[in-house]
Amino acid sequence: MNILILSAGTRTKIVQYFKRELEGKGKVIATDMSDLAPAVYEADKFYKVPRITEEGYIDIILDICKKENITAVLSLIDPELSLLAANEEKFKAVGVTVIGSSYELCERALDKMDMYTWLCAHGYRCAKSYTDKELFYADVDKGEMTYPVFVKPVRGSASMSISKAEDRETVEFLMSRGEGLMIQEFLRGQEIGADIYIDMVSGEVVSIFTKKKLLMRAGETDKAVSFHDPVLNEMLEQFVIESGWRGQIDIDVFEVDGEYYISEVNPRFGGGYPHAYECGCNHMKLIANNMSGIANERNIGDYEDGIYMMKYNEIGIKKD
């Protein structure tokens, strides 16, 4: 069983965990467009590949799959998830399983207004969002919205190009900077991350790990503490099943005045997943079982409260 991890970047722990799980059973192959991506040096073998937007990119990945006898492929960046899903049949044709959700769901996760519309239609609490600033101003005048708010791209990831606006003048300035922007309610509350695995054989939710985020850096969780709440788990499981997600996903949630609001979904391993793994939620094992045709047993909440994760910097040295 060989796993191909695309766009490995700095996710060294993800590669290490897969190597640990597949020791004696298979290899971990990694790719990145840069040979200065630290995570690729943790893999058994790596390939430098073009940007995902370049013509012929998928054919290069398929060639790697055939050459390395790959069993399953996954990506660690959002834009590539849709690309993999769109080409799922090509991977199946060479005996490779794409670990991820459907193209429709990957696109919904990328498009924050699409996600907002779906959440509202299905009765989930979420931050009010607008692409029409006049509708936003009207709600402010009616007292249904207040400042501050976020102005961000409708399609984006890694918390890039997000700005906080304290007044109308700032919103006007930020919204004038380009197309494809939205205004989103600022939720005052505790931010929570959930690492979830939906079994790819049974379709059931088999693992949920939740953490309170204590410090963020560049859109990723830097410090967090584990906790349990059956009410939150029930809401997350309902949302996941109703949506149709598969495999590994990461969900951002806010707790505001005792109520849970769904913020975003990343249908991949999130930057804070190592917290879950180190607390005993081994999703690499769940993936390996699925790739062997084994359905995993449900095991939700089997970890301790009050376990802290603290990230810190490391360095890698490479010689030409």
Q: Which domain holds residue 152?
A: 128-185
- Pair (52, 94) in one structural domain: yes
Based on the fold, state whether residues 169 and 194 are members of the same structural domain.
Answer: no
Query: Quick one: pLDDT at residue 100?
Result: 95
Q: Are residues 86 and 192 in the same domain?
A: no
Task: Kindly state whether residues 56 and 153 are assigned to the same domain.
Answer: no
**Pair 300, 201 in one domain:** yes
* 123, part of any domain: no
Classify residue 52: in a domain, yes or no: yes
Question: Last residue of a domain, which of 46, 80, 99?
Answer: 99
What CATH number is given to the structural domain containing 265?
3.30.470.20
Q: Are residues 193 and 89 in the same domain?
A: no
**HEC readout, the chain:** CCEEEECCCCCHHHHHHHHHHHCCCCCEEEEECCCCCHHHHHCCEEEECCCCCCCCHHHHHHHHHHHCCCCEEEECCHHHHHHHHHCHHHHHHCCCEECCCCHHHHHHHHEHHHHHHHHHHCCCCCCCEECCHHHHHHHHHCCCCCCCEEEEECECCCCCCCEEECCHHHHHHHHCCCCCEEEEECCCCEEEEEEEEECCCCCCEEEEEEEEEEEEECCEEEEEEEECCHHHHHHHHHHHHHHCCCEEEEEEEEEECCEEEEEEEECCCCCCHHHHHHCCCCHHHHHHHHHCCCCCCCCCCCCCCCCEEECCCCCCCCCC
Type of residue found at 202: S
Q: Are residues 297 and 243 in the same domain?
A: yes
Please report whether residue 214 resides in a domain.
yes
Q: What is the CATH number of the domain that holds 10?
A: 3.40.50.20
Residue 43 is assigned to a structural domain of this protein: yes
In a domain, 122, yes or no: no
Domain end among 161, 185, 209: 185
- Contact call for residues 148 and 88 (beta carbons, < 8 A): no
Q: Per the domain annotation, does 105 fall within a domain?
A: no
- Single residue among 99, 115, 141 that ends a domain in this structure: 99
pTM of the model: 0.93
**pLDDT of the residue at 205:** 98
CATH number, domain of 133, equals 3.30.1490.20
- What is the structure's pLDDT at 6? 98
Same domain, yes or no: 8 and 74 = yes
User: What pLDDT, on the 0 to 100 scale, is given for residue 69?
Assistant: 97
Residue 106 lies in a domain: no
Residues 91 and 145 in one domain: no
The count of structural domains within the chain is 3
94 phi/psi in degrees, rounded to 5? -110, 20
The reported pLDDT for the residue numbered 218 is: 67
**Same domain, residue pair 14 and 88:** yes
Residues 47 and 136 in one domain: no
What's the pLDDT score for residue 160? 58
Which amino acid type is present at position 143? G
Tell me whether residue 302 is in a domain: yes
For the chain (320 residues), the mean pLDDT of every run of 10, in chain order, is 97 97 96 96 97 97 98 96 97 97 96 97 97 96 95 76 91 90 95 98 97 84 94 97 97 97 96 96 98 96 94 84
